[in-house]
Amino acid sequence: AQSVTQPDIHITVSEGASLELRCNYSYGATPYLFWYVQSPGQGLQLLLKYFSGDTLVQGIKGFEAEFKRSQSSFNLRKPSVHWSDAAEYFCAVGASNDYKLSFGAGTTVTVRA
Amino acid sequence: NAGVTQTPKFQVLKTGQSMTLQCAQDMNHEYMSWYRQDPGMGLRLIHYSVGAGITDQGEVPNGYNVSRSTTEDFPLRLLSAAPSQTSVYFCASKPQGRNQPQHFGDGTRLSIL
């Protein structure tokens, strides 16, 4: 079965600074990878996804992620953070043989002025 | 453009009571699922359905029942509520295709006293 680890529980970043959120997955074949964002009291919104092709994926809100098979990683990045990026971020992995997703525990991002 | 609609948004129950969390989607998605979200644990899959009349257990199914009589609706039933079921519950749906992302409702915040 697939699994996801997000090593950072909480990250604080200054507005305008760059942000990188780590995600490591475990799965034997090519995974389907997703990043979701959750604002307080809201559901999860898809930021971006990867399933094949170019390993650098562009998403909404200026986010991008890079798939590195050799490191089993799918880290999320944003060059310049805005105060509205304060939220909880979840990495998820899907298997090629079913519809289920496995989520990481999430990383909470705080943006300071 | 409703998407995935969950009701109620908040609920307080007493131990031993039963209730049904409602989930409806208007996107004609075949796959629907229920997750619970607990601090530090990400989202964990409770039950899922790959189409009307078909349901299966996820990672944490005990204490919950589901049914899928129509494509649109996927209610989650708590048979006899326990304090350990205090959580935020999310319903999600997705179209066919392994690489298609899940669409989430806004969640139901449930407290069991």
- Across chain B, mean pLDDT equals 94
Strand-pairing partners, residue A103, are A92
- d(C-alpha B46, C-alpha B110), whole Å: 15
Strand-pairing partners, residue B10, are B109
Flag if A96 and B40 touch (Cβ within 8 Å).
no
Ramachandran category for residue A69: left, alpha or beta (phi over 0 → left; psi -120 to 50 → alpha): alpha
- Long-range CB pairs of A24-29 (<8 Å, 24+ gap) are A24/A71, A24/A72, A24/A73, A24/A74, A25/A72, A25/A73, A25/A74, A25/A91, A25/A93, A26/A2, A26/A72, A26/A93, A27/A2, A27/A3, A27/A72, A27/A93, A27/A95, A29/A95, A29/A96
Flag if B4 and A90 touch (Cβ within 8 Å).
no
Q: Which residues from chain A sit within 8 angstroms of residue B106, using beta carbons?
A: 41-43
In this prediction, residue B1 has a pLDDT band, given cuts at 50, 70 and 90, of low
Average of pLDDT values for A82-111? 90
- Across chain A, mean pLDDT equals 92
State pLDDT tens for residues B76-104.
999 999 999 999 999 999 988 777 889 99
Question: What does the pLDDT read at residue A59?
Answer: 96
Flag if A90 and B43 touch (Cβ within 8 Å).
yes
> Is residue A96 over pLDDT 70?
no
Using DSSP bridges, classify how beta strands B43-51 and B54-57 pair: parallel, antiparallel or unpaired: antiparallel
Nearest CA in chain A to B57: A100
Neighbours of B98 (CB within 10 A): 13
- d(C-alpha A44, C-alpha A89), whole Å: 9
Contact criterion met (CB below 8 Å) for B17 and B110: no
Residues in B whose CB is inside 8 Å of some CB of A read 4, 31, 33, 35, 40-45, 48, 50, 58, 90, 92, 94, 98-99, 101-107
Average of pLDDT values for A28-42? 88
Average of pLDDT values for B46-55? 94
First to last CA, chain B: 36
Flag if A106 and B44 touch (Cβ within 8 Å).
no
- For B94, the token pair is 């997705």
> Is residue B2 over pLDDT 80?
no
Question: What does the pLDDT read at residue B74?
Answer: 98
* Four-CA torsion A55, A22, A6, A81, nearest 10 degrees: -110
Angle subtended at Cα A21 by Cα A17 and Cα A25, rounded to the nearest 5 degrees: 165
- d(C-alpha A89, C-alpha A111), whole Å: 13
- d(C-alpha A26, C-alpha A35), whole Å: 16
Q: Which residues from chain B sit within 8 angstroms of residue A49, using beta carbons?
A: 99, 101
The torsion angles phi and psi of B85, rounded to 5 degrees, stand at -95, 5
Size of interface A-B (CB pairs under 8 A): 58
